[in-house]
A and B are shown apart, each in its own frame.
Chain A
């Protein structure tokens, strides 16, 4: 009995001084590892530079189309490809992609869908204009050519 008594006499407090450090470590870990992008881009993406940039007004209305040479040229070849979400698609599937994206939107704003074209600057215009023709067929007429801001002091 006396043995047990002795044990209960010791302090029951858990030292919590290190807890904030653990939380901070977690915070830093997530800050470092978070990638602010939901899709894996599988094509080269060096966007062209431009000066006359406008911001996207409603982010919910925007869908992204990535065009460029595949990063993994061994398995996908070196011809520029079209990527939407996580997969490569063929030109003829662009209309279908636009329609699935439109279905996610409200009836009222369906025609206000904006396609953000993220095209690598080394791509030739052929594939870009082919995609644009498909977008016209799919009635997605608002296009944003995503580009980087030029620094003014050059």
Chain B
């Protein structure tokens, strides 16, 4: 009799293990988020109105930072061939945006609102007569030919964007990376974002490539 009692108690009820496994399965199913894809966000210009003539380009030449990419994947920056890595364009563009060569009233306001580090950056690198007047006027123009590789296009666009993000970030005392990571749903971070963006437009002009020649 004692023997049979022992035998009954040795078996562990493992039936609920399946439920535990199911619970785990469902938990992971729910919590797994599929890797979000990331990329460089851009806004295309609106479609041209056929009734309106194309707008005249009235910008002063000094306010346009010209980048050209040809079908051999060579860059022409401000009419000089660019032999370095495209990512090094960032510094040049940053200097161009923050040149303050001849600021207008709005540009002066922006200059006054800048933190001391950026002001000293400007007094070292800026104020050149051949570069932009102030950030409100500055435009970075990028033109790629049909034969340019997409890789170079993205690298250059990335350099331009990183220059702008760094300017925005440093304006509120954070790095470009941190600026990019700001969450616009959080009111505090949104404030910081609008403060950084205020007055300095992200003026990137992507010119249409030449038609015909392919």
A interface residues (Cβ-Cβ under 8 A, vs B): 16-17, 19-20, 22-24, 26-27, 36, 48-57, 59, 114, 116-126, 128-129, 132-133, 135-137, 139, 141-147, 149
Contacts and interface: CB of A to CB of B under 8 A. Distances in A.
A80 B34 CA distance: 28
B187 interface: no
B41 A16 contact: no
Nearest to A141: B44
B158 A51 contact: yes
Contact of A27 (B17, B21, B38, B146): B21
B43 A119 contact: no
B208 interface: yes
A141 B121 CA distance: 35
A124 to B, nearest CB: 5
B39 A144 contact: yes
Contacts of A136: 44-47
Given A118-B37, A125-B145, 18 more contacts: A19-B17, A20-B21, A27-B24, A50-B39, A50-B155, A52-B176, A53-B180, A54-B41, A59-B36, A116-B37, A124-B71, A124-B146, A124-B148, A126-B147, A129-B209, A136-B46, A141-B43, A149-B38
A124 B34 contact: no
Contacts of B214: 126
Contacts, number: 148
15 contacts: A23-B22, A52-B40, A54-B38, A120-B150, A121-B151, A122-B151, A123-B149, A125-B150, A126-B147, A129-B144, A129-B209, A141-B45, A143-B43, A146-B37, A146-B39
Interface of B: 13-15, 17-18, 20-22, 24-25, 34-47, 69, 71, 87, 144-151, 153-155, 157-158, 161-162, 165, 176, 180, 184, 208-209, 214
Nearest to B164: A52
Contacts of B180: 52-54
A48 B154 contact: yes
Contact of A51 (B36, B45, B71, B162): B162
Given A19-B17, A125-B148, A48 B25 contact: no
A82 to B, nearest CB: 13
B44 A132 contact: yes
Given A27-B25, A52-B180, A135 B155 contact: no
Nearest to A57: B184
A133 B46 CA distance: 10
A135 B28 CA distance: 38
Contacts of B71: 124
A94 to B, nearest CB: 13
Contacts of A23: 18, 21-22, 25
B15 A19 contact: yes
Contact of A16 (B18, B87, B150, B154): B18
B150 A121 contact: yes
A133 B39 CA distance: 20
B4 to A, nearest CB: 13
A20 B17 contact: yes
B150 A53 contact: no
Nearest to A128: B150
A133 B214 CA distance: 16
